[in-house]
Amino acid sequence: MGPFRRGALQVRTASKAYPIHLGEEPAADVFRGILERFANRKIAVITDSHLAGAYQDALHGAFADAGREMDLLILPAGERSKTRGVKEKIEDALLERKYDRGCLLIALGGGVVGDLVGFTAATYLRGVSFVQVPTSLLAMVDSSVGGKTGVDTPFGKNLVGAFWQPEAVYLSIDFLKTLPPAEFLQGFGEILKYGFIMSPSLDRRLAKDREAILGGDPAALLPVIRESLAIKRDVVGKDERETGGLRRTLNFGHTAGHAIELLSRYRLSHGLCVSIGMAIEADVSVRMGLLAPAARDTIKERLRSYGLPVSVPRAMGFPALYSAMLSDKKSGADGVKLTLLDRLGHCAKGPAKDYAIPVPQKILAEAFAGARK
């Protein structure tokens, strides 16, 4: 029997339908599965230096078994690779090696590789196919699904990009065995977010099974990943390009989080920044009279129980954070707009009956001051 016997979740967006294969097979089997499915394509594997170290042998083995040569592009690991400059280098390498429109790119890595390779696939020869093989917890539950691709600029994160859906997502939690513990933890920022914005039942499960989940027990972790993915799948299925408003709910914690990430010059990881951002935006929800203080306290406690931060680094002044939030692409000319909660597991709708609620600068200043204690 081939890999991923457990079956797949189907994503159906306006532009494309594709499967998320979800399981716990070893890396070599994952690669074999992809080579079987895309037997006639010219394939380039694009990954980062950490993953190449851990999985090069498995890749070589799978390609050799299939009687194929392996073309591997290795990028320096880390957010600093998610740039227009690195994208250009990938494009030049593909052009030099004569990759045509029928090719397939494999994005093997975390969110950085996924976003970068996805964006490259979106524009290379006006668009080629790619598959996501997410290897970080964050990429598994969030960035590998939904088709948002892009790069960072000195003006902010993800400011240049495209919506471009993969052909498939091959997700095996076996990759988590080599993921550094701090990277594993930051993935829970996004998982907890799904509970906070949309799923009281996921939130309860995360509270009840915390030890087994944090211990990486597949019986506890796989259902949590599946439930997170099902939420993301449903949201992007209804609102692929964030035009109907629903996809905006996924932004909870991200406007404040992205500002912190930018000011840390990307030294603080995305998941940690989103965790602090969620603590702040939950507090803003309370200060706006939408959320009960007890719900905010539960959110902060849940984040802490997963080892995630809820305080803003002291060195970051409010004026700089505010200006970074204004430059976030989700803010408008009329100030900062946030996704806020009106109860645990539910997002509030604002005056325009959408999930982008204008927040006065004074309330933001108070919430940031409160998060410094």
**Site residues, ligand NAD (CB under 6 A):** 48, 50-51, 54, 77-79, 82, 109-113, 115, 135-136, 138-139, 142-143, 146, 148, 157-158, 175, 178-179, 183, 269-270
- Which one, 269 or 339, has the nearer CB to ligand NAD? 269
Cα 64 to Cα 170: distance, rounded to the nearest angstrom: 20
Instruction: State which residue, 30 or 288, has the beta carbon closest to ligand NAD.
Output: 30
Give the three-class secondary structure for 312: coil
Q: Active site residue: 193, 251, 296, 300, which one?
A: 251
**247 is a catalytic site residue:** yes
Q: At 372, phi and psi to the nearest 5?
A: -90, -10
Q: Please indicate whether residue 330 is annotated as part of the active site.
A: no
Which tokens in the block code for residue 261? 């990430």
Q: Which is nearer to ligand NAD, 44 or 51 (CB)?
A: 51
Q: Which of 21, 270, 302, 337 is catalytic?
A: 270
Alpha helices in the chain (DSSP H): 27-37, 49-65, 84-96, 111-123, 137-138, 181-198, 200-208, 210-214, 218-238, 254-263, 270-287, 293-305, 318-326, 361-370
* Selected catalytic residue, list 87, 258, 302, 337: 258
Contact 291/343 with Cβ under 8 angstroms?
yes
Q: The sheet that has 129-134: what strands, in order across it? A: 8-12, 17-23, 168-172, 129-134, 104-109, 43-48, 71-75
| Known active-site residue 89 | no
CB of residue 97 to ligand NAD, shortest distance in Å: 24
C-beta nearest to ligand NAD: residue: 111
346 is catalytic: no
Helix, coil or strand: residue 114? helix
Is 21 a catalytic site residue?
no
| Catalytic residue, candidates 25, 167, 240, 242 | 242
Query: CB of residue 51 vs ligand NAD: minimum separation in angstroms?
Result: 6
CA pair distance 29, 32, nearest whole angstrom: 5
| 163 versus 287: smaller Cβ distance to ligand NAD | 163
Please indicate whether residue 60 is annotated as part of the active site: no
The catalytically annotated residue of 5, 40, 98, 126 is 126
Query: Is 254 labeled as catalytic in the residue annotation?
Result: yes
Which CB sits closer to ligand NAD, 109 or 350? 109
Least CB distance to ligand NAD at residue 58 (A):
12
Q: Which stretch of DSSP H or E encloses residue 127?
A: none
Phi–psi pair at 292, nearest 5 degrees: -70, 140
Catalytic residue IDs:
126, 148, 190, 232, 242, 247, 251, 254, 258, 270
